[in-house]
Amino acid sequence: MTMPGTNLDPWYDSYAARTAGLSASEVRALFAVASRPEVVSLAGGMPYVSALPPELVSGSIERVLSSNAAMALQYGSGQGTPAIREHILQIMAMEGIRGSADDVVVTTGSQQALDLVTRIFVDPGDVVLAESPSYVGALGVFRAYQADVQHVAMNDEGLVPEALREAIARVTARGGRIKFLYTIPNFHNPAGVTLSWARRVEILEICREAGILVLEDNPYGLLSFDQPAPHAMRSVDDEGVIYLGSFSKTLAPGFRVGWALAPHAIREKLILANESATLAPNSFGQFVITEYLDQADWRGQIATFRDLYRERRDAMLTALGEYLPSLTWTRPDGGFFVWLTLPEELDSKAMLPRAVKELVAYTPGTAFYADGQGRGNIRLSFCYPTPEAIRTGVERLARVVNGELDLLRTFSGARLTRAHDQRPGVVTPPPNTD
């Protein structure tokens, strides 16, 4: 649809160099197909806001309008309101963070905090270190600022310190300028793993020694299922960490309110960048959230979300064990996502259209790499569909995976006899590749 427009675009030669880095994410394209009601979408990362009783929000809004309407409807400060910044301190204290409200900058979702941090640090060609895989929206920001993203290996305990050391040495040896390490320590998106406490300390030490800033992105930290996540990396390092938080997963994303807690000098630049970008984050959302945190049982609401997502996580893990027993996947202790590894012969991106045909959608692993990796992986999200839908979705996915494997086997054995019919066949047990 956009191709003819692009070809005919009279401004084609006028765009900035950075604009070449703007491309529709694979997740975005998926939202369109996956929104058909008959498709079970295990693709998106939308929180299940229907579990938030509207009266909790409407009560807050009534109080804002009756007592603070003129301010809530007005322009606000580029840093965010003092009241919400005080609340944000209390929330971060639950993860061991002690800071000053003066160093909190409220942003239009934590996505904008990612944008602003990248804006003030990254010149074209600068290196950003990121987990392998990493959050698709962060990779989009890094690309938009022409960063050179270098992935660093993870395993079940999260980012691997030795791999980080190697990456730093490799980049430094070739004269690259590393601007920061971007990490999601808790309930990683998309990998579903959590960085252990020992590794947090070790990674902070590595970064401190190498003079590398850490960008700690923590949207899911309070959504733990079995035990609380380890304390934030920011809790042990005030000067070397920018911490990003959000109300999108613990309350609702529709207000677009997130934040950064930054070392003092950096926070000043973030405020200026924020003012340049939007003048100020939306006052109305900030006032409503402040009332909500003042008056509503927000800790209880987070517990509700936890219980809900735990049940869905369990449904997904059970279904995977049942329908795809020969594959491997991560077992998240919180958050929204499971990371599935496919048999070597399969390609998650190539398989997606067939999956949608079978009425299940997922995000191919390729979305989470800056360098074309990820064809062997799938991100499955359990946040939005019901447990029953999750079960159905995994069953359909298994049918697709097994059908693909069957097809490959048939092709390699008797290619000519099946070449006219590329549709996946009936469900057969997968070969034991793992």
Q: Is the Cβ of residue 381 or residue 402 nearer to its own copies in the bound state?
A: 381
CA-wise closest residue to 18 among 140, 179, 177, 150: 140
- Quick check: 254 binds its own copies (CB under 8 A)? yes
- Which range binds its own copies by CB under 8 A, 122-130, 151-159, 300-308, 414-422? 122-130
Q: Which of residues 324-383 bind its own copies (CB under 8 A)?
A: none
Of residues 85, 119, 188, 354, which one binds its own copies by CB under 8 A? 119
Restricting to residues 208-247, name those near its own copies by CB under 8 A.
213, 239
Does 253 contact its own copies by CB under 8 A?
A: yes
Q: Does 61 bind its own copies (CB under 8 A)?
A: yes
Task: Tell whether residue 412 is a contact of its own copies (CB under 8 A).
Answer: no
- By the rule CB under 8 A, 24 interacts with its own copies: yes
Q: Is 74 in the site for its own copies (CB under 8 A)?
A: yes
Does residue 29 touch its own copies according to CB under 8 A? no
**Does the protein bind its own copies through residue 275 (CB under 8 A)?**
yes
One of 228, 263, 376, 387 touching its own copies (CB under 8 A): 263
Among the listed residues 269, 310, 409, 418, the single contact to its own copies using CB under 8 A: 269
Residue 99 is a binding residue for its own copies (CB under 8 A): no
Q: Cβ 391 to its own copies, closest distance in Å?
A: 23
46 part of the interface to its own copies, by CB under 8 A: yes
| 418 near its own copies, rule: CB under 8 A | no
Nearer to its own copies, 152 or 241 (CB): 241
CB of 74 to its own copies, least distance (A): 5
Tell me, by CB under 8 A, how many residues bind its own copies: 85
Per-residue mark of binding to its own copies, 144-183 (x: CB under 8 A): xx---------------------------------x----
Assess 72 for contact with its own copies (CB under 8 A).
yes
Q: Does 285 bind its own copies (CB under 8 A)?
A: yes
